[in-house]
């Protein structure tokens, strides 16, 4: 792959960020030998309801969560762009600022199961490669249109700058931001589910109450 840098793209609402976001990203970073992993908080998610906390607060939580991992970077590009956060638009903007980089978009199996319904999914594959993360032993998508996309683009190892899909078994916590918000609202402890400094920020700013 004749490119300068390999940049991982980990987009999401991060409402709030937790270890279920962080550990798989670290495993992808190392398994695919990426130069960096960018965490890109959505400004206005298109696949779910608007978050209860501001985009700026979600960005600050990401910044706190990743501050001790030098290869993790916060990218506020979707806040800078404003409006609905479409992955294809985001990747296009990153590619303009990083024309020689190869982009690797992280997706879990749940997200990839609806990839054929994403805005301009063909454009996404023109701009980036995709790594589909899954639990060890979990089957990769093979059915329907999504299965066809997966099989048509799957490779054992990334060799091009875009258009390829690999799958990677990762450590996945059975944890959702929805469950975390419920714990926080009910005053239940969130120890060992998210970084301590993020939990502190949430308590100090009385978020998710």
pLDDT tens digit sequence for 150-162: 999 999 999 999 9
User: Which of residues 172 and 107 earns the better pLDDT score?
Assistant: 107
Beta-bridged to residue 41, according to DSSP, are 12
The tens digit of pLDDT for each residue in 183-195 reads: 999 999 999 999 9
Domain count of the fold of the chain: 2
- The pLDDT of residue 2 is 46
> Considering the domain boundaries, does residue 116 fall inside one?
yes
Same domain, 148 and 183: no
Same domain, 180 and 143: no
């Amino acid at each position: 792959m004749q490119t300068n840098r390999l940049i991982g793209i980990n987009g999401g609402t991060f409402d709030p960020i937790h270890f279920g976001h962080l550990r798989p990203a670290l495993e992808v970073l190392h398994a695919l030998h990426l130069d960096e992993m960018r965490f890109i908080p959505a400004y206005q998610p298109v696949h779910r309801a608007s978050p209860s906390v501001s985009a700026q607060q979600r960005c600050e939580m990401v910044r706190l969560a990743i501050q001790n991992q030098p290869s993790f970077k916060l990218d506020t590009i979707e806040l800078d762009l404003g409006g609905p956060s479409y992955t294809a638009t985001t990747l296009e903007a990153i590619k303009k600022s990083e024309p020689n980089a190869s982009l690797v978009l992280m997706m879990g199996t749940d997200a990839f199961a609806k990839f054929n319904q994403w805005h301009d999914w063909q454009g996404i594959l023109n701009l980036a490669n995709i790594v589909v993360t899954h639990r060890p032993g979990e089957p990769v998508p093979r059915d329907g249109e999504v299965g066809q996309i997966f099989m048509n683009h799957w490779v054992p190892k990334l060799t091009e700058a875009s258009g390829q899909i690999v799958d990677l078994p990762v450590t996945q916590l059975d944890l959702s931001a929805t469950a975390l918000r419920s714990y926080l609202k009910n005053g239940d402890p969130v120890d060992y589910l998210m970084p301590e400094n993020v939990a502190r920020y949430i308590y100090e700013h009385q978020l998710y109450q």
